[in-house]
Amino acid sequence: MRMKKSLAAILSSTMALSMLSVSAAAANAKPVMEDAANSWAASSIDRWVQHGIVEGNSDGTFKPYRSLSRGELAAIFTRMFGLTEKAENKYADLTGSEWYADAILKCTAAGILEGDGKNANAAAPVTRQEAMTMFARAMGMAPDASPDLSQFTDGGRVADWAAGYMAPLAEMGILDGVGGGRVAPDEHIDRASTMALLDKAIEEYITSSGEIALENENGFTVINAAASARDTEGVTLSGKAAGLVISAGTAADVTADGLTAGSVRIDGRTSVSLDGAASAGRVNVHAAASVSVGASSQAGEITLHGADASLSVFGSADRVEIAETAASASVMVATDASVETVAISAAQTELSAYGSIASVDVTKQAADTLVSAESGAQIDRVSTAGTGTTVKGAGKVSHVAVSDGASGVTVNTIGSKIDNNSSEAVSSGTGSIQPGHAGTSNGENSAPTQDGPSSGGSGSGGGDTVQQADIVKAPLLDQSGTIDADALVRDYQVSSTVKGDVTEVTISGEHLMKHQNAQGVSDYWIGFGIPAKEGNTYYAGYGAVPEELGAPVDSIADRTYEENGKTYNTVYFGLKDVDLENGAYVVVKNGEDTAAYRVSFQVTLAPVVENMQVWVVNDQASYERLPADYTGAHPWDDAYLQPENAAALPWLAVSYDSNVTGAVEIQVTKDGTPVGSKSHAESTVNTDRYQLWHLTKPADSEGRDYFDQEDAAGTYVVTIRKDGQTVSSEALVYAP
């Protein structure tokens, strides 16, 4: 059966979602309850009664204006989506004997309901922001990272955990407030508003097979085709939908033939195909479903959450993620298909590539991952921090990066460049790459590739002969003691290739922090180690090797570093004022022998200031966004809401991460005119720094930072100047 929502529901101005009592046996079709017949939401109530989603109370009444509890809300979602899987009961206030217990645990398993970390609060009335959040999760929506609810007069009162879900629903027209420009996030929602919300948001509710053309750019389609409805026809969809939910109760095969959908959530153990020129922005697979992306179809981000789920890509996808819960999942990228990134966090994942993949990232949570690059495949990079990762096949894998913490890694693809930054050897064909070294895989049936200057082996599979120099990463240490060694750089790697008389060295890393070397000089230091030898004289500089080397750098020979039983001299380069594209050089002379190293940098420098946020603190929710060291020392006090209080709200808050020590200047403009500034020294790095101003002069201004103005309304921009760099925030519009 297929029922489209009525036009009357579109005219309703509901905001959120709550729940209504659900009985054990719902009728297939019933008239509106007598006490709801004259309700403004009568047609919406009638729709969901006929679907058996709601039935009213035991006395035959509906009570449309009564608030709903979280348990009632969970019961409606359980029926609407055919939920069957239950989560383990970890709620302190849920014994399991309550009428709503199963529904609470089923919604928890589906990721719809989370509780407060301890209790489910199932008997508590649902607030509008709670209901909207649960609805958005049920639809598979991802929260907006930068939500804007400024169209509502009380949009600033919406909790951070809800704002990301409510903003896109408002943009779609599903959330349009309660009158007076208010969104009323903390108010309870009644039954009538709940039914109207569901009616407005769910354009199509499909319970049987057939071909259906959708035109729901701002609405959702839900398929709940139970096992009894399964047949050879299945459900075929075309057209447009903001979102598609294939419920846990669905057994019919689903084909999206040319469908354009913003999001797709798959909870049923069924087969789902994107065919024709179908496109989906985001696909979440929460069951052991079989999903395929056709040759002419494309998807943005596909995430497998369900164990034993399978995905076949014949077209294209931006990102495929195998979550930690998706054990034994399988992914196949077909010939002529392309995927930008595959991220693997689950155990026993099998990835088979016949087409092209730019990056495969195996996290530390993953175990026994198999990456098969079949004949004709191209994988640009595989990085692994997991255990038991195997990379094999006749296809091409250009680069394998083995991170610290990885173990049991095997690389058998011929010609793959391997950077081993783990503490264990990497098996490579018939040889191995030792910890801290780089090398090239020679395949399963070729001669081994050895470490060291005399290394090199020719693969019987046709790979090039490559020699690797005996070099290591230079250890990084901030001599000022303000930055932990582990925080100085991310993904720090050093690799090399010997070409004739020159060794080409590549130093790579991300977010390199400015720090102090042994001579007390602050710069973005990074480098590599060369085997120490009696009589070595070092020359180093930036750019190409000059005809005249100049004076030797004696400090290089004085610095030694022990690794794997060998001694190395370390060469460091400061990158603050360097053109990284021109690289650097090191020349080593020892008697009649000369060795040259050509150094290239693939390094990103940490910005002086990052992660800047600017917001107005005008209630408890926005107050809790302040850094923990502030809120811990100054817990929320309702007195902040009293205008006569010396610390009365509103405040302008700015928080940021500082990656260097030293003086900082913060300036604030309103509508282009300076209204305040603050300067001070900072002795820490990479911590939540903050600054607060009262937006108007407080009752007691002694010792307080404030803007000397009567009207706080306007557009604010915060600019931070530090270490010669300037960073400005996005414009913040405040309209109290």
Nearest to 349 by CA among 367, 364, 361, 374: 367
% of residues, the chain, pLDDT over 70? 91
Residue 340's pLDDT is 96
Considering the domain boundaries, does residue 502 fall inside one? yes
In tens, the pLDDT along 320-352 reads: 999 999 999 999 999 999 999 999 999 999 999
Compute the mean pLDDT over every residue in the chain, rounded to the nearest whole number: 86
How many angstroms separate the CA atoms of 301 and 284, rounded? Answer: 8
Final residue of a structural domain among 148, 175, 197: 197
Residues 541 and 650 in one domain: no
Using CA atoms, how far residue 522 sits from 221, 472, 575, 682, in Å, is: 58, 23, 10, 15
Q: How far is CA 231 from CA 210, 248, 252, 265, in A?
A: 10, 17, 7, 22
- 108 and 205 assigned to the same domain: no
Rounded Cα gap, residues 444 and 610, in angstroms: 46
Q: Is the model's pLDDT at 308 over the cut of 80?
A: yes
* Measured distance CA(23)–CA(559) in Å, rounded: 77
Tokens linked to 270: 């069924």
Bridging pattern class, strands 426-428 and 431-433: antiparallel
Residue 236: inside a domain: yes
pLDDT-derived band at 225, boundaries 50, 70, 90: confident
- CB-based contact 367:348 (threshold 8 Å): yes
- Per the CB < 8 A criterion, the answer to whether 724 and 711 are in contact is no
Alpha-carbon distance of 697 to 534, in angstroms, equals 71
Q: For residue 518, give the CATH number of its domain.
A: 2.60.40
DSSP-based three-state secondary structure for 385: coil
Same domain assignment for residues 149 and 252: no
Whole-angstrom Cα distance, residue 72 to residue 171? 27
CA distances from 699 to 364, 646, 653, 668, 703 (A): 54, 5, 19, 22, 12
Q: How far is CA 557 from CA 529, 553, 570, 599, 706, in A?
A: 11, 8, 8, 18, 56
d(CA 323, CA 308): 12
Q: Domain count of the chain? A: 4
The CATH number for 693's domain is 2.60.40.1930
Residue 124 domain-assigned? Answer: yes
The predicted-structure confidence for 598-637, as pLDDT tens digits, reads as follows 999 999 999 999 999 999 999 999 999 998 888 989 999 9
Q: Determine the residue type at 558.
A: D
Burial state string for 115-132 with b = 16 or more CB within 10 A and e = fewer than 16: beeeebbbebbbbbbbbb
d(CA 607, CA 720) in angstroms, rounded, equals 12
> Cis omega before residue 650 (within 30°)?
yes
Residue 228 lies in a domain: yes
Cα dihedral sign for 421, 423, 425, 428? Answer: negative
**If DSSP states are collapsed to H, E and C, what string results for 465-496?**
CCECCCCEECCCCCCCCCCCHHHCCEEEEEEE
> Angle CA(111)–CA(343)–CA(435) in degrees, nearest 5?
130
Quote the pLDDT of residue 229.
41
Residue 93: inside a domain: yes
Task: Give yes or no: residues 601 and 541 share one domain.
Answer: yes
Q: Are residues 59 and 181 in the same domain?
A: yes
Count CB atoms within 10 A of the CB of residue 15: 27
Number of H helices and number of E strands within the chain? Answer: 10, 44
639 C-beta neighbours (distance < 10 Å), count: 11
Average pLDDT over residues 511-532: 93
Q: How many beta carbons lie within 10 A of that of residue 518, not counting itself?
A: 12
Q: CA 298, CA 275: separation in Å to the nearest integer?
A: 9
**509 and 586 part of one domain:** yes
Does 484 share its domain with 353?
no
**SS3 per residue for 142-211:** CCCCCCCCCCCCCHHHCCHHHHHHHHHHHHHCCCCCCCCCCCCCCCECEHHHHHHHHHHHEEEEECCCEE
Could you tell me if 81 and 213 lie in one domain? no
Residues 38-67: pLDDT tens digits? 888 889 988 988 888 887 777 778 888 888
Contacts of 118 (CB under 8 A, 6+ apart): 91, 92, 93
CA distance 29 to 7: 20
Quick: pLDDT tens for 442-493.
764 333 333 332 223 323 333 333 445 788 999 999 998 888 888 999 999 9
Mean pLDDT for 691-713 is 92
Residues 164 and 227 in one domain: no
Residue 108 placed within a domain: yes
Q: pLDDT at residue 14 above 70?
A: no
Check whether 731 has a pLDDT greater than 50. yes
Residue 494 placed within a domain: yes
Query: Are 125 and 208 in the same domain?
Result: no
Residue 28 has pLDDT above 60, yes or no: no
Please name the residue ranges forming H helices in 573-672: 620-623, 628-633
Are 420 and 410 in contact by the 8 Å Cβ rule? The answer is: no
> Is residue 458 in some structural domain?
no
Q: How many residues does the chain have?
A: 736
Closest CA to 568 of 585, 588, 551, 549: 588
Q: Determine the longest span between alpha carbons in the chain, in angstroms.
A: 104
Phi, psi of 622 (to 5 degrees): -70, -25
In angstroms, the CA 32 to CA 202 distance is: 19
Residue 229: both structure tokens together: 């409805």
Q: Domain boundary at 605, 634, 666, which?
A: 605
Q: Where residue 565 falls among pLDDT bands split at 50, 70, 90?
A: confident
**190 and 212 housed in the same domain:** no
d(CA 155, CA 129): 11
Residue 253: DSSP 8-state:
-
Determine the Cα–Cα distance for residues 719 and 434; give it in Å rounded to an integer: 48
- Short-list 127, 192, 120, CA closest to 161: 127
The whole-angstrom separation of Cα 726 and Cα 418 is 39
Domain-terminating residue out of 151, 168, 197:
197
Quick one: 298 and 385 in the same domain?
yes
**Parent domain of 269:** 201-407
Please choose, from the candidates 291, 270, 290, the residue with its C-alpha nearest in 3D space to the C-alpha of residue 282: 291
**The predicted structure's pLDDT at residue 688:** 80
Of 126-130, 166-170, 499-503, 664-668, the least confident = 499-503
CB 374 within 8 A of CB 350: no
CB atoms within 10 A of CB 372: 19
